[in-house]
Amino acid sequence: MIIGIDASRAVKKERTGTENYSRNLIFELAKIDAKNQYILYVGPDYDGTFDNFPKNFSIKIIPNKKYWTQIGLSFEMFKNKPDALFIPSHILPPIPAKKAIITIHDLAWKYFPDMYSPAELRLQDLSIRRAIKQEAEIIVYSSSTVRDLQKFYKINKNKLHFVPMGFGNLFNNKNRDSQTSRHVQGDTLNQTNSHLSVKTKQPYLLFVGRIELRKNMTNLIEAYTMLRSERKINHKLLLVGKPGFGYEKIKLAIEKSKYKDDIIETGFVSDKDLSQLYKNASIFVFPSFYEGFGFPIFEAYSAKIPVITSNTSSMPEVAGKGAILVNPKKPFEIAAAMSQILNKPQLREKLIREGQSQLKHYSWQQCAEYTLKILEIK
């Protein structure tokens, strides 16, 4: 069987959830499947990531920079269709494959349409409708996304497949060697690379994700300001990620905070630096309004730090018993949860243990094995 995979996202230099999902899944499929033939479709900026893969994997560079899927991948499907085409996102090319498999990560655009242009909203909706019309096999990895799809679309349940998300150790192999030791409350930013270090020995709270309104940044800043009213708490708040939709309002909220000098934005950081930032944090705070999965929760668990996250969408099922769940609309609840962890060492230890236990249910090998069964459906 010849299986084509859209690997364009997997080779991006700056990767977030969708890109890391694509990359890790492709690497794991290469480990477990020597039977099928694979074609990995990549763009003109391909960096050689898959050059040393097994012989049953080949690379097809599609030269288009613009409209890569709509024109480039479509033309490839017109010329030479594989037996199955797997899109680790959900935007299929207009020219159909013999059989299509997609992954739908979330329906955030249904809940936050203001974050998207009219053209993007049409593309998102059209892509899902096209997949349903083509009778594509649809992979999802959270019950929350299953519910959303059934809420907004008429989907054949036989075409909907739940595949548990994969997870290994934190980030890649190069960063896994120092994960056996637990970093306790009070570690500082000074252990990171010099360009990220802060001239202080104060501990810090951590958020990782796009700095946008959907991630509930303004309420997090308000909660942090409330927390700092406790005299013995002098933690900084570290925001790691690129600016996103509504950043101007978030920046204004920071400027209005009494503790604005202790709210630090790093922008996008490398995996190596991010690994250090996780491991040295006192708490990971992720009070997002909506997530298709909430992958940073697992990254924090891997780094053995306690987590606070929202009681909405996919986050309760992802977090399990390893996090304090809060109403993201209530800054006082977020502040109270942070205070509890900082003031109760036993609670901190309990959350870390539960987080480690939750990770045992997820592996890239299991994700790849489940996915392969779907790819091979006749």
Sign of the torsion angle spanned by Cα atoms 346, 352, 356, 361: positive
Share of the chain above pLDDT 90, in %: 75
* Straight-line distance from the first to the last Cα atom of the chain, in angstroms, rounded to the nearest whole number: 10
pLDDT band at 170 (very low <50, low <70, confident <90, very high): low
State the alpha helices, DSSP H only, in 157-294. 217-227, 247-256, 271-279
pLDDT exceeds cutoff 70 at 172: no
pLDDT digits (tens, 9 = 90+) for 311-337: 999 999 999 999 999 999 999 999 999
Reported as a pLDDT band with limits 50, 70 and 90, residue 196 is low
| Helices assigned H by DSSP within 259-362 | 271-279, 295-302, 315-319, 331-343, 345-359
Checking if the pLDDT of 68 tops 60, the result is yes
Mind spelling out the 3-state secondary structure of 89-143? CCCCCCCCCCCEEEECCCCHHHHCHHHCCHHHHHHHHHHHHHHHHCCCEEEECCH
The continuous run of DSSP H or E covering 75 comes out as helix 74-79
pLDDT of residue 290: 93
- Residues contacting residue 299 through CB under 8 Å, at least 6 positions apart: 170, 171, 208, 274, 278
Structure tokens at 325: 């769940």
Specify the CATH number of the domain 2-166+363-375. 3.40.50.2000
**Total residue count of the chain as it appears in this document:** 378
What pLDDT, in 10s, does the model give residues 215-263?
999 999 999 999 999 888 999 999 999 999 999 999 999 999 999 999 9
How many other β-carbons are positioned within 10 Å of the β-carbon of residue 14?
9
Look at domain 173-359 and name its CATH class: alpha beta
pLDDT of residue 183: 29
34 exposed, middle or buried (CB, 10 Å; 0-12, 13-18, 19+)? exposed
Sequence ranges of the domains in the chain: 2-166+363-375, 173-359
Name beta bridge partners: 283: 205
| Structure confidence at residue 200 (pLDDT) | 41
Per-residue pLDDT, 67: 86
pLDDT range class, residue 185, cuts 50, 70, 90: very low
Distance CA 81, CA 95 (A): 10
Q: What angle do CA 267, 269, 271 make, to 5 degrees?
A: 155
**Are 2-166+363-375 and 173-359 equal in CATH topology?**
yes
Q: Mean pLDDT, to the nearest integer, of 34-61?
A: 94
Q: Please give the single-letter amino acid code of residue 286.
A: F
The C-alpha atoms of residue 172 and residue 223 are separated, in whole angstroms, by: 33
DSSP assignment string, 270-296: -HHHHHHHHHT-SEEEE--S--SS-HH
